[in-house]
A and B are shown apart, each in its own frame.
Chain A
């Protein structure tokens, strides 16, 4: 990753976050797909982001290995007319759907397109994992409520309860990152060992 210049890394970062201006998308994607090092960076940013937000959001399988296998399979596929890519949406099983791919007539930019498709498949898979975790693993907690705290003269904004039984309010991933950072460096307590450390090690955080 270190070999990439900072501009390229910025672009990869923006792509990961979906913040890239539309005009730059094609150019950045082409540059990314042409450079395996960039693909590695792209993957690492996903993993780092996911791990920081929550270990649960980290991909549950070796997705790069999966991509490599898929690419090998694609290379071995006989040429057939038309391109059909089906993505099952059976997210309930927590499995990333099998992908059936028929390669079309080769075109001048075939290798580039293949990478594009791989990136698409992987993005879908990662999105699936993220969405699945966000929507299905929200633990029960009494419904969202607003409550004013009037125990002190100092004005205090209303307190919002972060997670809900129905999952109608998606958690703020940045808050989760900061919670994780607080758990990591925060345990400045005389009750830290063993109770505090074991508490933080055992308890990943509230509802995911």
Chain B
């Protein structure tokens, strides 16, 4: 081989290395800023029109549902038909949700204020999600026939779980979401097993179906907005990254019976931007409130109970038990 040929080969090899190296770097990718990325996936979810089959597996259980989603200006409409478990159809118009149970002819109508919360929070730069999670790009994949970017949200401490997210390449729509425990094992997975984007979904038809409550008894959860201070509760110390998002009063437990003192149950909600924790406080009842401690409800959800004098606290959330314990230990009765 001539010297010229060898030089040519050397240059070619170097070029291949450089180009290959770049390609590799691209496959790992550089993660965009966290808030910008969250806004993108959020906007994708709002603006995309799609139908699909959504599958959730958690704690050895699996459930699936058929989804229709359409966006009409500022209005978002969604229909979720369960394919497993109790037959039910859930319709959502923005934050209005109604769940139909055809077997019992009962429909539950409710408002989920949390659904409208995040775009503004992310826009306002008031979000501290970036202080507690890091976004990492970990490559590409194919999900339900679509090319997807894969990202990982890595928790900065042990008070929260991490997430792995598959986001459709063109739109940013989340195709698959895994919740990972502190050792990186998958606790829960939610994914589209089949998805069709930009299909004709009729806003009018979904609206009519949602409004068709004839023959159903409509139940509206008896919820009153309140605040923890009014209810006599405070947290001695905040749990890192978790901010109070709202506080509600619910009717006393049905199971409380005549022995219950008629006190309502308080639900105080906290979020770190990705994970949510609810603190429930109700009057202590020795007949029902027997076991203090943590319970693994399967998947990412845990609960923890603790007696505080005449009160019984139950903390529920998609967080490690250690976090629930931090809430339970910090909870204090002020009056």
Contacts and interface: CB of A to CB of B under 8 A. Distances in A.
Interface of A: 10-11, 13-14, 16-20, 45, 47-49, 51-52, 54-56, 58-62, 139-142, 149, 151-152, 154, 156-163, 173-175, 177-179, 181-182, 184-195, 197-199, 201-208
B134 interface: no
Contacts of A45: 254
Contact of B177 (A11, A55, A56, A191): A191
Contact of A190 (B127, B248, B278): B127
Given A19-B258, A55-B101, 7 more contacts: A14-B257, A62-B105, A154-B325, A156-B325, A159-B321, A162-B295, A185-B246
A192 B54 CA distance: 14
Interface string B229-255: 000000000000000011010100111
B322 A154 contact: yes
Contacts of B115: 187, 192-193, 197
7 contacts: A179-B316, A190-B274, A195-B174, A201-B80, A203-B56, A205-B297, A206-B301
Contacts of B108: 51
Contacts of A191: 38, 41, 163, 165, 174, 177, 274
A159 B101 contact: no
Contacts of B316: 178-179, 182, 186
Interface string B105-126: 1101010101101100110000
Contact of A204 (B86, B255, B276): B86
B60 A140 contact: yes
B331 interface: no
Q: What are the 8 closest A-B residue pairs judged by CB atoms, nearest first?
A: A19-B257, A206-B298, A157-B293, A188-B271, A202-B65, A203-B56, A14-B258, A49-B254
B114 A188 contact: yes
A166 B325 CA distance: 29
A19 B235 CA distance: 34
Q: In the complex, which of the residues B46, B221, B254, B329 has the most CB atoms of chain A within 10 Å of its own CB atom?
A: B254
A160 B296 contact: yes
B24 interface: no
Contacts of B85: 56, 204, 208
Contacts of A186: 114, 269, 276-278, 316-317
A203 B325 CA distance: 25
Nearest to B314: A178
B258 A174 contact: no
A156 B305 CA distance: 11
Contacts of B56: 199, 202-203
